[in-house]
Amino acid sequence: MDIVFATGNRHKVEEASQILGPDFILKTPADLGIAGEIPETSPTIEGNALQKATYIWRKTGKPCFADDTGLFVDALGGEPGVKSARYAGEGRDAGDNMRKLLKAMSAVPRFSPEGKKLRTARFRCVIAYVSDAGHMLFEGSVEGEIALEQSGSSGFGYDPVFLPEECTPPGRSFAELSAEEKNAVSHRGRALRKFAEYMRQ
């Protein structure tokens, strides 16, 4: 099945291809000659995912999906949330975002005196699928905590500072996991598997 993935992020395309498998052939806007930024101005990740998928569907007329992802840190009141990709400001990169996050969390210890985790966070991913028949949303999430420092060289985004709960052995960041290990428990993996199941039906 040929389907358009409304993203310019090659890491996301590689990850989605691994998770969806050979049943799906992913095309990007660039593959179809569409250049420029895809708008994402909604105050929610659900709204951004739908905005991006709708934008490319209208330009191509082809079934299209898009994702939006946010890292929600409890000690920061849910930040960076929907602003995760631009947390450090426009034109900044993932390294800048992580450095800002670690600085914001620098006074937060891992545990309270009673042993409660204080650096808890979760990744949420929403996939929006748009076609002539309308749209559908699929969500995946993963619980974890923010590390005290970066570790690992795999993955992308905030992966080096996020320690997922569902990890054996525990205490490793997303960036220290193999692609297979990460995809099995990640927010995007869960959302994509729900999406794939719907499409196969």
Active site residues: 68
Residues 6+ away with beta carbon under 8 Å from 154: 174, 175, 176, 177, 178, 179, 182
Token pair 């309270």 in the structure block, residue:
112
Which conformational region is residue 134 in: left (phi greater than 0), alpha (psi within -120 to 50 degrees), or beta?
left
Residues in the chain: 201
SS3 89: coil
Q: Is the peptide bond before 43 cis (omega within 30 degrees of 0)?
A: no
At position 39, the amino acid (one-letter code) is P
> With contact defined as beta carbons under 8 Å apart, do 87 and 101 qualify?
yes
State the Rg of the chain over Cα: 17
Alpha helices in 26-176 (DSSP H): 45-60, 94-104
β-strand pairing of 64-73 with 120-131: antiparallel
